[in-house]
Amino acid sequence: MESIKWAVNHMPKTQDEYLKVMSLSQVEKARTFHQSFPQYARTPLAKLDAMARYLGLKELYVKDESYRFGLNAFKVLGGSFAMARYIASETGKDVSDLPYSVLTSKELREEFGQATFFTATDGNHGRGVAWAANKLGQKAVVHMPVGTTRTRLENIKKEGAQVDITDMNYDDCVRLAAKEASETVRGVVIQDTAWEGYEEIPSWIMQGYGTMAMEAADQLKDCGCQRPTHVFVQAGVGSLAGAVVGYFTNLYPDNPPVFVVVEADAAACLYKGAAAGDGRIRIVDGDLKTIMAGLACGEPNTISWDILKNHVSVFAAAPDWAAAKGMRMLSAPIKGDPQVVSGESGAAPFGVLASVMTMDEYQGLREAVGLNQDSKVLLFSTEGDTDPERYKNIVWEGKDC
């Protein structure tokens, strides 16, 4: 069985110029926007007391994004807010003046017209972009990488987007979306990865993800937890991880939690950068074959990478078995705990945490991040069973594929 790999962060610090992207005021703006949607409801924070005792922790919380807007994943938070910010900038307005009721009004449609939003996705992000475009009367074009399941394509098609599965990997799909947007009148790339010259929209997407982190912080306080000691968060390009790490660093500037970033080992570009230790970006190419489709991204978001190398303690690369283990444990909770239906990418951090706390071979990692009976750990299950057949194969049939 392949081992979980990990690297303690010894990278040189930067001036931290991107931390302000996730300022509390910017995230509050995003949450207020999302709250204006008639479909909005705060997603649950599962408090797993029995599991915490089993793993040797004080408290354990999992934010369950399978309830988000009826879309079974958190991604819509980023795409919808980025679209609103884009429309606001094009019409000379502040996004605070564009709640859902205004964005969907006949008056705004006449003022703004229609744009075409291009994106690449393994499923969740594209579905969120397609859903938001549909609700806001805009167009969406979605490209999906090789190996994407038909179920995920059909979910996007139902939202009225033009969608296809290509013979490319995720990062090449991103390049295709960017090229087509540049050749289309009023074409806009809505992508949650940043590169040189494309940073504004990804920063808006990250702020949209901040809604989830801000909800979790409020819910922790409702549970009597004033501050988590540890936050585990998954990473593909790193946008979610940068958003979560950035938000909690701003929320607890004097005493931030210990942050652990978990990637799929087949696409562990952030881990490789941390292992090299020089702070430079590393790229992983090829097929990026893993059950964690949402994490199969080999080129880091430049904004997030800057935040992560300044504030993350450990980067971990998880084999598929760790994600499958997390899915099974969350789906079959210890008596008294709530169930969390978590997909492959959603359960990876929990699978790593459970392995680190119960397997002797990871004692060094456990000690490196200071996990013990006093630890209060927060995780994010970023998706539910977005591919129900695959979920059943893994959870019911015991397969890791």
CA distances from 86 to 44, 229, 256 (A): 29, 36, 32
Q: Active site residue: 47, 75, 135, 272, which one?
A: 75
Q: Which residues pair with 377 in a beta bridge?
A: 60, 230
- Spatial separation of the C-alpha atoms in residues 368 and 230, rounded to whole Å: 12
Side by side, the strands of the sheet bearing 230-234 are 5-8, 314-318, 258-264, 230-234, 376-381, 59-64, 45-47
C-alpha torsion sign, points 180, 183, 186, 189: positive
Q: Which residues of 2-18 are buried (b: 16+ CB within 10 A; e: fewer)?
A: eebbbbbbebeeeeeeb
Q: 362: which DSSP letter?
A: G
- What SS3 class is residue 380? strand
User: Cα-atom radius of gyration of the chain, to the nearest Å?
Assistant: 20
DSSP states along 309-349? HHH-SEEEEE-HHHHHHHHHHHHSPPTTSPP----HHHHHH
> Comparing C-alpha atoms, which of 196, 234, 229, 195 is closest to residue 212?
234
Structure-token pair, residue 102: 């205004």
CA distances from 305 to 36, 161, 279 (A): 31, 31, 9
Let me know if 122 is a catalytic residue: yes
Q: Active site residue: 122, 306, 320, 385, which one?
A: 122
- Spatial separation of the C-alpha atoms in residues 164 and 149, rounded to whole Å: 11
**Given the structure tokens 């071979």, which residue do they identify?**
361
Active site residues: 75, 122
